[in-house]
Amino acid sequence: MSHRLASSFLDYLQVERGLSPHTIGAYRRDLSQFFSWNQNDVLKIDSAQIGRFLRTLREKGYEPSSITRKLSTVRMFYKFLHLEGKVDRSPLEGISSPRLGRKLPSHLSEKEISDLLGAPPTQSLLDLRDKAILEVLYGGGLRISEMVNLDISDLNLRGGWVRVMGKGAKERMVPLGRVACQWVKTYLRERGGQPRGKVALFWNRYGRRLSRQAGWKIIKKWAKDAGINKPIFPHTLRHSFATHLLSRDADLRFIQEMLGHANISSTQIYTHVTSERLRRVYKKYHPRA
């Protein structure tokens, strides 16, 4: 029963809501976890059981942001069941999501970035690909999903530009530095020619477009090889890109445009990062700090 209802819900998200396969996959994983925890009929769940589910997530050490996302999935699932006439009311009525503090973005120092970008040995085609990937992610501040969706036709290596399709299918042009362009050229040359049209820029070992998960594994692998011990997240290179620009006095609106943020408030969080840096410098060097 539970899995049949979940399948109907996921079909609804795809057909009626038009959500991407990646987003639907996240909903599927969250629902699977909820069903694994709850062995009872999902149509008979009450708010007390939802409360116990939340406590279980906290006891397992999930971050408030992760708990909020999982709760949102379950909430939407029961909203769907209510619309379908399967339940009279949602068991999540009156249950609030955890309060989220504004978390500063994780980033690497310029030295750590240098170590990371220098980690791939570039002796094989896959190493060359990984080197080019790291340079493009940091050089353009791209999301992993944006990087893996790049086609060769999106590149203007002579001019130092790349066309990026961001969130909400919003297109933007992002400058790409000389070093990143050079490594992309080297990778394409070793891969064998530069075919035109909608041909994926970055391939896996089987000659198919690299997946988002594979791109994330590449970052983690080379961060480990570079001896970087701090936590690494999918957006770490993107956050480092923005933080380093701001620390060198780049205009916030310029960074907003580069990152593809629709609202300046999304970019302003990086000012807190550089403010913390200024505070540390002040305390270290000012005689009366």
76 in the same domain as 127: no
Return the CATH number at 174: 1.10.443.10
- Asked whether residue 194 falls in the same domain as residue 136, the answer is yes
Kindly state whether residue 265 falls inside one of the protein's structural domains: no
pTM (two decimals): 0.63
User: Could you read off the pLDDT tens digit of each residue along the chain, which spans 289 residues?
Assistant: 477 888 898 988 888 878 778 888 888 999 999 888 887 788 888 888 888 888 888 888 887 778 888 888 888 898 898 888 988 888 888 787 766 555 656 889 999 999 999 999 989 999 999 999 999 999 999 999 999 999 999 999 999 999 998 887 788 999 999 999 999 999 999 998 545 545 999 999 998 999 999 999 999 999 999 999 988 988 999 999 998 988 887 888 888 888 988 777 777 777 666 666 656 655 666 555 4
Same domain (yes/no): 123, 213: yes
Task: Could you list the beta-strand ranges (E) of the chain.
Answer: 155-156, 161-165, 171-175
Tell me, yes or no, if 22 is annotated catalytic: no
Using the 8-state DSSP alphabet, how is residue 174 labeled?
Answer: E
End-to-end CA distance of the chain: 64
List CB contacts of 44: < 8 A, sequence separation 6 or more: none
- Smallest Cα–Cα separation from 7: which of 35, 34, 28? 28
Domain extent for 18: 2-83
The answer to the question of residue 66 being in a domain is yes
Q: Identify whether residues 25 and 78 lie together within a single domain.
A: yes
Task: Tell whether 256 is covered by a domain.
Answer: no
Among candidate residues 232, 250, 269, the one where a domain is terminated = 232
Active site residue 167: yes
Counting Cα atoms < 13 Å in the Cβ hemisphere of 278 gives 11
Per-residue exposure over 208-222, b if at least 16 CB sit within 10 Å of its own CB, e if not = eebebeebbebbeeb
Question: Among 107, 131, 235, 244, which one carries the catalytic annotation?
Answer: 235
- Tell me which of 27, 78, 138, 270 is the catalytic residue: 270
The CA angle 276-277-280, to the nearest 5 degrees, is: 90
Q: Which of 69, 75, 163, 261 is catalytic?
A: 261
Do residue 114 and residue 228 come from a single domain? Answer: yes
Segment holding 30, helix H or strand E: helix 21-37
Active-site position among 167, 170, 230, 279: 167
Whether residues 179 and 220 share a domain: the answer is: yes
Catalytic residue status for 261: yes
Residues 120 and 220 grouped into a single domain: yes
**For residue 243, is it within any domain?**
no
Contact 125, 133 (CB under 8 A): no
Asked if residue 249 belongs to a domain, the reply is no
What pLDDT, on a 0 to 100 scale, did the predictor assign at position 247? 82
Q: What's the rounded Cα separation, in Å, for the pair 87 and 11?
A: 19
Contact 183, 128 (CB under 8 A): yes
Q: What torsion, rounded to 10 degrees, do the Cα atoms 137, 140, 142, 146 define? A: -100
Is 279 marked active-site? no
Q: Which amino acid is at 145?
A: S
Do 134 and 205 sit in the same domain of this protein?
Answer: yes
Are residue 126 and residue 225 in the same domain, yes or no?
A: yes
Instruction: Using the 3D structure, point to which of 213, 232, 251 is the last residue of a domain.
Output: 232
Give pLDDT, residue 145.
Answer: 93
Both 116 and 213 in one domain: the answer is yes
Q: Residue 263 domain-assigned?
A: no
CATH number, domain of 17, equals 1.10.150.130
Domain boundary, last residue among 232, 250, 277: 232
Helix (H, G, I), strand (E, B) or coil at 215: helix
Indicate the number of domains in the chain: 2
Do 213 and 133 have their domain in common? yes
Asked whether residue 171 is assigned to any structural domain, the reply reads yes
Under DSSP, is residue 269 helix (H, G, I), strand (E, B) or coil?
A: helix
Dist. CA 63–CA 211, nearest whole Å: 26
Which member of 70, 129, 131, 238 is catalytic? 238
Residue 116's pLDDT is 97
For residues 73 and 171, membership in a common domain is answered with no
Among residues 70, 131, 143, 239, the one annotated as catalytic is 143
Q: Is residue 28 one of the residues assigned to a domain? A: yes
Q: What pLDDT is stored for residue 279 in this prediction? A: 64
102 is catalytic: no
